[in-house]
Structure 1
Amino acid sequence: MFNIDFDALNPLERQIHSTLKQASRTAETIRITDAAQMCNCSVSKISKFVQKLGFANYKKYLDYLYARAQPEAKPSSELERIGRFLETFDQNKVQELASLIHDSNKLVLLGYGPSYLCAQYFEYKFKTCTNKICIAVPDDLTASSIIDANTLLLVFTVTGAFKSFEEIHRETKAKGAEVALIMEEYNPSVLTRYDRIFCLTDGHQPAGLKVYEKSRTVFFIFMEEVIRELSRRQ
C-alpha cells in the first residue's frame, strides 16, 4: 500500500521530479547517483524526496517514472491476495486519508459500475461518523455540477483503466478543490496522470477477469479503517 502526494513536495522537490521526468524520456534508466548529479543535490536528498512522494525506495520511483508494470505474481486465491494485503497494511495511509477527509467540508464520491455501489455504501457510512455533506455520484457530469472549492472528490477505481478520470480531475483542481484516487490494483499508466493517489496493493487480480467482475474487498477493508478513524476523531 502506498500513496502518491505531489502536494507534499516543496518547490525544490517538484523541480527534482520535473528534471528526472524529463530525463526519463531519453535515458533507458537513471541511476540514483546520476539523478543526484542532474539535480545538483546529494543521493540522500533523492532518497528523501522519493520517500516523501510516497515510494518505499528509489527503484519503486523508477518503476513509476517509466510506467513499468510490477512482476506478475503466481496465481493465488482471493483469500491469499487479501492475506498479503493485510500483512503489509499501513495504518499511516489510513491516518493520511482520514485527515484529508476531516479537513474538507464536502465529500463527493465518484465511481463507475460496481465501484459506484461501493461509493454509495461509503456515503452512508461517512454520514454516520461526520456532519459533512457527502454525495455518491455515478458519472463525471454529476460530480462536476456539485463540486466547489470546499469539496474533496474521492474517486474509487479498481485499475483506473475502465474510463479516464483526467477531465474531472482537471475540472476539480481548477475549482480549487481537492481530489484523490483510491485504487485497488497497481497500474503504472494511471499513476503518472494524477497527483494524489492511494494505491492499496501492488499486485493484480486474475488477468482474465473483466473490471466489473473484480473484487472490491480491499476497498472495504481500507475504507472501514478510515471510517473508524474518523469516528474516533469526532
Structure 2
Amino acid sequence: MIRIDFDALNPLERKIHATLKAESEGVEAIPIAEAARLCSCSPSKISKFSKKLGFNSYRQYLDFLYDRVAPEVVQTSELARLAHFIEGFDNSKVDALVELIGTHDKLMLLGYGPSFHCAEYFEYRLKTCTGKMVVAVADELLATSMTDENTLLLVLTVTGSFKPFDDVYHDTVEKGGEMALIVEEYNPDLIERYGKVFCLTDQVQCSELQPFEKNRTVLFIFLEEVVRKLMRPPR
C-alpha cells in the first residue's frame, strides 16, 4: 500500500521536494547522488525522505515526480490482485488512519456511485465502534455544508478519476476541517493535489472496466481492519 502524506514533511523535506520537482522540469532523470548534491544532503537522507513521504523507494518517488506509471503497477487477475494486496498488507497505514480518526469528533464519508454505498456501510460500522458523529454523503455540497473545524472528511474512491475533488478539498480546508482520500488503485495525479492520500494497492483492475464497474473489495478489507483496530479496548 502507498500512503502519501505531504503534511508529514518538515520544512527541510518540503524544500527537498520543491528542489527536485524544479530540477525534474529540465532533466530526464535525477540519480539519487545528484539529488543529494542538489539538496545539500546525503543520499540516505533522500531515501528516508522518499519513504517518509509514503513511497517504497526513491525510484518510486521519481515515477511520481515525472508523472510516470510506476513499474510495479500491473494488471492481473482479480484473485491474484487480492492475494498480492493481502500478502503485502501494511498495518502501519491502518494505524495512521486510526490515529487520524481519533483527532476528530465528526467523520464525513464521501463516495460517488458504488463508493457511496461503501460509505453508507462504513457509516454504520464507524458509528458503532467510535461513538462519533459519522455521516455518509453522495454529494460534495452536502459534505461541505456539514463540515466544521472538528470534521475529518474521508473520500472513498477506486480510481479517483470519476470526478475531481478540488472544490470539496478547498472548502473543507477553509472551514478548518481535514480531508483524506482512500484510493484503491495507485493514482499519481492525486498525490500532490491533496494533503493526505492512502493508495491501497500498486495494481489495477481490468482496464476494460469503467470506475463504477470495478469492485471495492480492497477498500472493504482495509476499512474493516481500521474498524477492528478501533474496536480494541484502550490499554
TM-score by length of structure 2 reads 0.96
Which residue does the alignment assign to 2:134? 134
Q: Take 1:73 and 1:224, find their aligned partners in 2: how far apart are those partners?
A: 25
Deviations 1:140-196 (A, max 9, x none): 101110111111010001010000001111111222211110000011222232221
Whole-angstrom distance in 2 between the partners of 1:172 and 1:219 = 23
Where does the alignment leave 5 or more consecutive residues of structure 2 unmatched?
none
Gaps of 5+ in 1: none
* Residue pair 2:75, 2:203 contacting (<8 A) in 1 also: no
Residue correspondence of structure 1 range 170-185 to structure 2 within 5 A: 170-185=170-185
For residues 60-107 of structure 1, what are the alpha-carbon distances to aligned partners after superposition, in whole Å with 9 as ceiling and x for unaligned?
A: 10111112113453542x211111100100011111101101111110
AA at the equivalent of 2:40: N
Say whether the 8 Å CA contact 2:159–2:185 is kept in structure 1.
yes
> Could you tell me how far apart the structure 2 residues matched to 1:128 and 1:47 are?
40
> Using a 3 Å threshold, how does the CA distance of structure 1 residues 53 and 109 change in structure 2: closer, same or farther?
same
Partner of 1:73: 74
Structure 1 length-normalised TM: 0.96
Alignment of 1:50 with 2:53, yes or no, is no
User: Any runs of at least 4 consecutive aligned residues in structure 1 with deviations exceeding 3 A, and if so which?
Assistant: none
Counterparts of 1:43-192 in structure 2, within 5 Å, are 43-71=43-71, 73=74, 75-76=76-77, 78-192=78-192
Q: Distance in 1 between matches of 2:63 and 2:176?
A: 30
The percent identity for this pair of structures is 57
Size of the alignment, in residue pairs? 233
Q: Following the alignment from structure 1 to structure 2, what is the Cα–Cα distance between the partners of residues 142 and 194? A: 20
Q: Which residue of 1 aligns with 2:208?
A: 208
Answer whether contact 1:107 1:135 (CA < 8 A) is retained: yes
- Could you say what secondary structure the match of 1:200 adopts? strand
2:220 is aligned to 220
Partner of 1:35: 35
Aligned CA RMSD, in angstroms, stands at: 1.2
In structure 2, the CA distance between the partners of 1:179 and 1:74, relative to structure 1 (3 Å rule), is closer
Q: Matches of 1:233 and 1:3 in 2, distance apart?
A: 26
